[in-house]
Each structure stands twice: as structure tokens, then as C-alpha cells.
Structure 1
Amino acid sequence: MNKFSAVITGIQRSDSLCCIELDASGITLSMLLFDLAPSFQQGKRVHVLFKESEVALGKHLRGEISLSNRFRAVVRAIRQGDILSDITLDSKAGEFGSIITTRAVERLGLQVSDEVTVMFKASQLSLETSHDT
């Protein structure tokens, strides 16, 4: 499980649905969730969690897409398997991982030191209380 430290910068509510805006060391993230816990308030430091299998990667992307979470990272390591590959990435928010198919690694021509665009859906994030000061 990937984990970034972040600060809640905005909360939009519509009935029980909430859109949360977060700042993870200069990376703006958005997430959707139902029934926001009272402990999560604007200005609160939190941990943002997301699965490696939910992280999509792109190279040389241009134009707009519907995914709200899109930022740059650098490939630090690639561990290729027969079917799946484990990619280690470095971003302004820290190191994290992505698991994609080995076919995708080959199709992208992915190599260590490549700059990639990281993407994941707002519905794929979760929050955890941070005890950082």
C-alpha cells in the first residue's frame, strides 16, 4: 500500500458525498468518499493511501483526461515478472509503487530514469489519521 503525507486543503459536500482536496508536498490530489469522519477537517494532516495496482503510468501524454489525480514522477526501479512488473517511482511527495503488466512496460519502453505521468481515480484513495506534528 502506498502512503503519502498530506494536508486537507478543501472539502466540498453534497449530502453524504464529499470531494476532498489534498496537498501532498506540492502535489494536488482529489478524493471522493461517503460520510466523512468528523476528525478529517480542512487544515488537518493526514495520510493518503492507495494501492499499487490502482496506479496507471503514461509517457509523453498530452491533452486532458478525466482522472483528477495526475502528476509527474521518475522511474527509480523496474522489477519485471512474466506477467506483472513492480515499478518504483519517486515524486515530490516521496517514493511509491505501481504494479502494471509487463506488456505495458514493454509497450511504453519504460526504463529507469524515465519521467512518467502517474494517474489514478479520486475514488481509489483512502485517508488515515496522521500523528505527525
Structure 2
Amino acid sequence: MNSFSGHITDIRTSDALSVVTVSVDTAVTFKAIVIDNPETAPYLSEGHAVHVLFKETEVVIATGKDPAVSLQNRVKGTISAIDKGLLLSRIVIHTPIGELVSVISTNAVDALGLTENKNVIAMIKLNEVALAP
């Protein structure tokens, strides 16, 4: 499980749903959609410390400068290690916020030409990001 510490910087609420923006550092923010709002979950307040969590299998890897896709959670980094298996591969990405891990198919590793020291963008759908106070 990927885990990063940050602070809530913005909350947009509609009924029982909230899109929460968490700043992990000055250059990296994550957005998460939660089935809660500030009235039902006291931790949902600007400035509150939270942990951002997401599974390794939910991390999409892209190459190139800025791919045109709808995924808003993007972290740029450099591949520091690849553990290739027959079907799946574990990719470790060195980023400004620490090590981020992705598990993708070995076919995708080969198709993208992923190698150590290659610059990539790790992307995570906002509905796959969990927040822990």
C-alpha cells in the first residue's frame, strides 16, 4: 500500500460526497472522493493532517511529458527499480514525495519500454485514493 502524509487544502461537497484535495508537499497534491462531508466526518477540515493511501495495483504508469487523460492525481518520478515477473511487474518510482510503487502487467512494462532511470508519471484515479485521519 502506498501511503503519504499531507494536509487537507480544499473540500468540495455535494450532499454526502466530498472531493478532498490533500497537499503532500508544495508540488504534489492528491484528490480523493469520500462518502462523507464535513458535517459527518470531523477530520474533513482544511489544514487537518491525513494520510493518503492507495494500492500499488491502482497506479497507472505513463511516459511522455503530459498525457491527455482524465486522471488528476499525477506524480512525476524516475524508475529506481523493476522486479519483472512472468505476468506482473513491480515498479518502484523515486518521486519528490518519496518512493511510490506500482504493480502493472509485464506486457505493459515491455510495451512502454520501461527501464531503470526512465522518467514516468504515476497516475491514480481519485476514487481509488483513501484518506486516513
Q: What is the TM-score with the length of structure 1 in the denominator?
A: 0.92
SS state at 1:20 partner:
strand
Q: Is the 8 A contact 2:58 2:102 kept in 1?
A: yes
Q: Aligned residue for 2:107?
A: 103
| Percent of aligned pairs sharing the same letter | 37
CA distance in 1 between partners of 2:66 and 2:130 (Å): 28
After superposition, the C-alpha distances for 1:13-54 in whole angstroms (9 at most, x for unaligned) are 100010101111220211111114212311011110000000
CA-to-partner distance for each residue in 1:55-80, whole Å, 9 max, x for gaps? 00011154532111122111010000
1:56 partnered with 2:60: yes
Separation (CA, whole Å) in 2 of partners of 1:61 and 1:118: 12
Q: SS of 1:104's equivalent?
A: helix
| Contact 1:5-1:93 at 8 Å conserved across structures | no
- Say what the alpha-carbon RMSD is for the aligned residues: 1.2
Task: Please report the TM-score for the alignment, with normalisation by the length of structure 2.
Answer: 0.92
Corresponding position: 1:85 with 2:86: no
What are structure 2's unaligned runs of at least 5 residues?
A: none
Structure 1 residues 48, 107: closer, same or farther in 2, change over 3 A? same
How many angstroms apart in 2 are the aligned matches of 1:29 and 1:46? Answer: 11
- What do the CA deviations read for 1:54-107 (whole angstroms, capped 9, x no partner)? 000011154532111122111010000000000111111111200000000001
| Comparing 3-12 and 23-32, the one that deviates more | 23-32
Q: Specify whether residues 94 and 62 from structure 1 end up closer, same or farther in structure 2 by C-alpha distance, changes over 3 A only.
A: closer
1:30 partnered with 2:31:
yes
Amino acid paired to 1:35: D
Instruction: Quote the Cα distance in structure 2 between the aligned partners of 1:90 and 1:6.
Output: 18
Which segments of 5 or more consecutive residues in structure 1 lack a partner in the other structure? none
**After the TM superposition, which parts of structure 1 deviate over 2 Å for at least 4 consecutive aligned residues?**
61-64
Q: Aligned equivalents of 2:11 and 2:86: distance in 1?
A: 42
Amino acid at match of 1:27: V
Please say which of residues 85-94 and 34-43 is displaced more in the overlay. 34-43
Alignment-mate amino acid for residue 70 of structure 1: R
Alignment of structure 1 residues 67-86 onto 2, 5 Å: 67-86=71-90
1:15 pairs with 2:15? yes
